[in-house]
């Protein structure tokens, strides 16, 4: 049992991971930084314990560090503990922020999930975790049939375009597959990720086109970086074919992280000369440069902002969404703590796509729910689709009585043409 898991893990342990395992002194600084452990007090949720579980498995019976392990541990129990440790984690990296050595257990989780996938443990197609794998495969397979889908996709976009023209601006366009455009906007599934962006691009006079693909990359959630690169390759090839100057990703944390943190390493010189950005800082620059105008005080409802982990703590985008919110809202209330110390909502790492994880997600989101309640805000605004879904579930589960909004929703609704 775990034979393939151990082979893959040994093969993928790089210098940083080896360093993390060697230097972790189990000081406990990460314990209360983890939203899972803060809610459950289950030792399996302690970030350092994840390190120890994998280390014990790798050392096995040959280890001279017998005090690190339970000699009589059954294989079934060991598998269960490793599964829990790898999956009941959102990869938010709040633990790394508090760690005195900056140890990043999210890197281990990525490796561990990939190794479990290759072991075939808990990733059957009928399970939630298996669904993440299948969605990732579908994102890659779309590239093989995109020409068959293209005509239908453009027809649907044109119908959406007509509706937005009727309600917003008669000359608004939602271009698709437009060669020579400056911006390639890669949306999420659903018009909610297209309409606000289209309105803002129109108001700014941007030269843009919409991608035939979506920004999400579910292979990233299971640590399959080879397939994550394949999905990303579709976006790059499209950008090169259209000759765009910039790739812009929507309000999606994990997708933006792949764009900003991995594309350069994956594609090297191929990506050189193509700017990569998230929609939030782009819209903030439009506002700062006077390319768009909004109604100050358009929103008088008390608002708070949730920093998505992949945009904030892992991406450094803290002030851009706040500048946009303050431009349209008269009463903005910060969560405490916020920015790099903000609590994860509990829905990241692909867990939203796993139905069996909902109860665990709700428990892990307790700290976030309490944060929101303390502000007295009526709207919770964020810049990540995953977070919006989780915050909506938390709202219902904890009876918070709030509405969940996107930052670009607020801006689009307050535009002055």
Q: What is the pLDDT of residues 335-359, one digit of tens each?
A: 999 999 999 999 999 999 888 899 9
**Is residue 128 in some structural domain?**
no
Q: Are residues 154 and 258 in the same domain?
A: yes
**Which DSSP string do the residues of 184-237 spell out, in sequence order?**
EE---SSGGGTHHHHHHHHHHT--EEE-SS-S--GGGGGT-HHHHHHHHHHHHH
Q: What is the pLDDT of residues 61-75, one digit of tens each?
A: 444 444 444 444 446
Last residue in a domain, options 227, 257, 287: 287
Q: Are residues 298 and 393 in the same domain?
A: yes
Q: Are residues 359 and 399 in the same domain?
A: yes
**Is residue 35 in some structural domain?**
yes
The pLDDT score that the predictor gives to residue 307 is: 98
Q: Are residues 50 and 159 in the same domain?
A: no
As a whole number, mean pLDDT of residues 154-176 equals 97
Q: Are residues 272 and 172 in the same domain?
A: yes
**Is residue 126 in some structural domain?**
no
The pLDDT score that the predictor gives to residue 69 is: 45
Q: 293-294 and 415-416: which strand pairing?
A: antiparallel
The reported pTM is 0.92
**Which DSSP string do the residues of 120-186 spell out, in sequence order?**
TSS--TTSHHHHHHHHHHHHHHHHHHHHHHHHHHHHHHHHHHHHHHHHT-TT----BS-TT-SEEE-
Last residue in a domain, options 253, 287, 321: 287
Q: Are residues 179 and 261 in the same domain?
A: yes
Element of type H or E holding 358: helix 358-364
Q: What is the pLDDT of residues 108-146, one digit of tens each?
A: 899 999 988 888 765 544 445 778 888 999 999 999 999
Q: Are residues 17 and 28 in the same domain?
A: yes
Phi then psi for residue 114, to 5 deg, are -65, -40
**Is residue 136 in some structural domain?**
no
Q: Are residues 282 and 147 in the same domain?
A: yes
Q: Are residues 147 and 36 in the same domain?
A: no
Q: What is the pLDDT of residues 222-234, one digit of tens each?
A: 999 999 999 999 9
Last residue in a domain, options 233, 254, 287: 287
User: Structural domain of residue 270, as residue ranges?
Assistant: 143-287
Please state, rounded to an integer, the average pLDDT across all residues of the chain.
91
Q: Are residues 40 and 15 in the same domain?
A: yes
Q: What is the pLDDT of residues 279-326, one digit of tens each?
A: 999 999 999 999 999 999 999 999 999 999 999 999 999 999 999 999
Structural domains of the chain, count: 3
Distances (CA, A) of 169 to 246, 247, 287, 327: 25, 25, 19, 22
What's the rounded Cα separation, in Å, for the pair 257 and 76? 35
Left if phi > 0, otherwise alpha if psi is -120 to 50, otherwise beta: which for 177?
left
Q: Are residues 354 and 314 in the same domain?
A: yes
**Is residue 251 in some structural domain?**
yes
Q: What residues does 405 pair with on adjacent strands?
A: 381
Q: CB-based contacts of 86: which residues, under 8 Å, 6+ apart?
A: 50, 109, 112, 113, 116
């Amino acid at each position: 049992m775990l034979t393939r898991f151990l082979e893959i893990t040994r093969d993928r342990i790089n210098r940083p991971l080896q360093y993390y395992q060697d230097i972790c002194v189990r000081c406990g600084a990460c314990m209360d930084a983890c939203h899972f452990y803060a809610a459950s007090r289950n030792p399996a949720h302690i970030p350092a314990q994840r390190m120890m579980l994998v280390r014990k498995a790798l050392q096995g019976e040959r280890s001279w560090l017998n005090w690190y392990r339970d000699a009589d541990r059954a294989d079934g129990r060991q598998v269960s503990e490793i599964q829990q440790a790898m999956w009941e984690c959102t990869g938010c990296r709040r633990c790394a922020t508090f760690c005195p050595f900056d140890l990043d257990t999210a890197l281990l989780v990525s490796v561990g999930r990939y190794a479990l996938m290759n072991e075939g443990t808990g990733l059957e197609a009928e399970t939630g975790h298996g669904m993440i794998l299948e969605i990732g495969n579908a994102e890659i397979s779309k590239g093989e049939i995109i020409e068959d889908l293209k005509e239908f996709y453009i027809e649907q976009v044109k119908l959406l375009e007509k509706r937005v023209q009727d309600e917003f601006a008669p000359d608004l366009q939602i271009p698709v597959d437009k060669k020579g455009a400056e911006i390639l906007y890669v949306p999420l599934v659903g018009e909610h990720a297209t309409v606000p962006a289209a309105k803002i691009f129109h108001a700014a006079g941007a030269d843009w086109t919409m991608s035939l693909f979506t920004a999400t990359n579910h292979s990233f959630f299971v640590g399959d970086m080879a397939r994550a690169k394949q999905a990303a390759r579709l976006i790059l090839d499209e950008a090169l074919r259209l000759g765009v100057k910039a790739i812009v990703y929507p309000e999606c944390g994990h997708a933006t992280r792949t764009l900003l943190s991995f594309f350069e390493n994956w594609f090297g010189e191929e990506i050189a000369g193509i700017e990569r950005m998230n929609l939030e800082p782009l819209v903030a620059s439009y506002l700062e440069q006077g390319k768009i105008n909004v109604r100050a005080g358009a929103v008088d409802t008390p608002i708070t902002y949730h920093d998505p982990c992949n945009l904030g703590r892992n991406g450094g985008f803290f002030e851009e969404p706040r500048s946009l919110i303050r431009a349209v809202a008269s009463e903005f209330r910060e969560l405490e703590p916020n920015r790099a110390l903000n609590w994860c909502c509990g829905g990241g790492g692909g867990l939203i796509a796993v139905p069996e994880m909902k109860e665990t997600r709700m428990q892990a989101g307790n700290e976030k729910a309490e944060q929101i309640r303390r502000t007295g805000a009526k709207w919770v605004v964020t810049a990540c689709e995953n977070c919006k879904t989780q915050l909506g579930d938390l709202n219902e589960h904890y009876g918070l009585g709030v509405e969940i909004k996107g930052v670009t929703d607020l801006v689009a609704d307050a535009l002055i043409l």
